Amino acid sequence: MVVSMNNTYIIANFIGKYKKKYRCYEQMEMNDYLCLNFDYILYMSEIVEVNHIQQYCDMIGATTQHPLIGVVDFSKLSPIRYTIPRRLFGYYAIYLKGSKQTSLYYGRSEYDYEEGTLVFIAPGQVVGTEEDGEVRQVKGYVLMFHPDFLHGTLLEQMMKRYSYFSYDIREALHLMEQERTIILYFLNQIQAELVSSDEQSKDLIIDYMKLILDYCVRFYDRQFKTRTITNHDILARLEKLLDDYFSSSLSSKKGLPTVQYCADKLCLSANYLSDLIRKETGISALKHIHRKTLEVAKERLNDQSKSVNQIAYILGFGTPQYFSNWFKKMTGYTPHEYRTSI
């Protein structure tokens, strides 16, 4: 059964799980639709809501150092028996994988990582571990912090900057040895402040947390750069996806392509795709899509057999006025002015 279940979170995670499961396919099989309701019941039955750090610490046998923040070194704990398959997190968590003895689950997919992998989890996400009931000596670290710990701090206002908390778990950060040493240093500093707490401890902990998050931005930049071939392949697939979208009737039926639509078709999270495109091209994913849309719009305007109004609907703009305003914003000309100038 689901413990202390928040239905909004559960339904959102269930829908997200189904989108991730089928987003690489054009459509579900009919049997999947028939099984949808039953699968939802099974999915709900597997989830335990963990809203508090003490609750998690009690589950794994760790000492709670602070109700709103904690650092756990798994190697110092007794062996753990995994019997809770899925956890709905009510706080932020950063896991530093220390061994390959356990796998992580996101929805119903299993991911196994090398030592030194960082996984970022935000409130409202469902993540679990292997549920075979075996006892294991886990290695690695976790930094947990509740949103309330950030209340009133500058870091609270900056959290949206760290978009990797919204990445798919398969888009984890794979650390080099030097990077792992840096993260471990700050985790140990936070742990030390929690042990010998005084009036300055919270400010110092916030500073160390921000350093960790900022360094992870740098490390992700490095990971994007070292995966240049893969990134170029994704860009090529994106171009083909957009070409196919506009050459078919999808645009007239579904409207303009969105970042989320493209990310789903490429089996990526929207934030990861956006960050990847920005690193590779210097512009946002939305702007990239708009540039492609403009390129197609100009090609269609060259075809005198269709009116501007028809082209607007074919491209998915909904109304000719919306198309005209958008085109003028992009080029400085209305579609009619552009057509007469060519």
Q: What is the distance between the alpha carbons of residues 94 and 83, in angstroms, rounded to a whole number?
A: 21
Q: Using 50, 70 and 90 to split pLDDT, how confident is the model at 99?
A: low
In this predicted structure, what is the pLDDT of residue 100? 58
CA–CA–CA angle 175, 176, 177 (5° rounding): 115
Burial (CB count within 10 angstroms: exposed 0-12, middle 13-18, buried 19+), residue 109: middle
CB neighbours of 73 closer than 8 A, spacing ≥ 6?
141, 191
Going from N- to C-terminal start, the domains of the chain cover: 7-46, 48-222, 229-341
In this predicted structure, what is the pLDDT of residue 131? 58
CATH of 48-222, one of 1.10.3720.10, 2.40.160.20, 2.60.120.280, 1.10.630.10: 2.60.120.280
The arithmetic mean of pLDDT across residues 185-203, rounded, is 93
- Regarding pTM above 0.85, the answer is no
Q: Is it the case that residue 257 has pLDDT exceeding 90?
A: yes
The arithmetic mean of pLDDT across residues 289-293, rounded, is 93
Q: Is it the case that residue 125 has pLDDT exceeding 50?
A: yes
Three-state DSSP class for residue 259: helix
In this predicted structure, what is the pLDDT of residue 42? 40
Q: Is it the case that residue 19 has pLDDT exceeding 50?
A: no
- Give percent above pLDDT 90 in the chain: 44
In this predicted structure, what is the pLDDT of residue 127? 75
CATH domain 229-341 topology: Arc Repressor Mutant, subunit A (1.10.10)
Average confidence score pLDDT of the chain = 80
In this predicted structure, what is the pLDDT of residue 235? 86
Alpha-helical segments (H) within the chain: 7-22, 30-45, 53-60, 154-158, 177-195, 201-226, 228-247, 250-254, 259-265, 270-281, 285-301, 308-315, 320-331, 335-341
pLDDT in tens, 204-240: 999 999 999 999 999 998 888 777 667 778 888 899 9
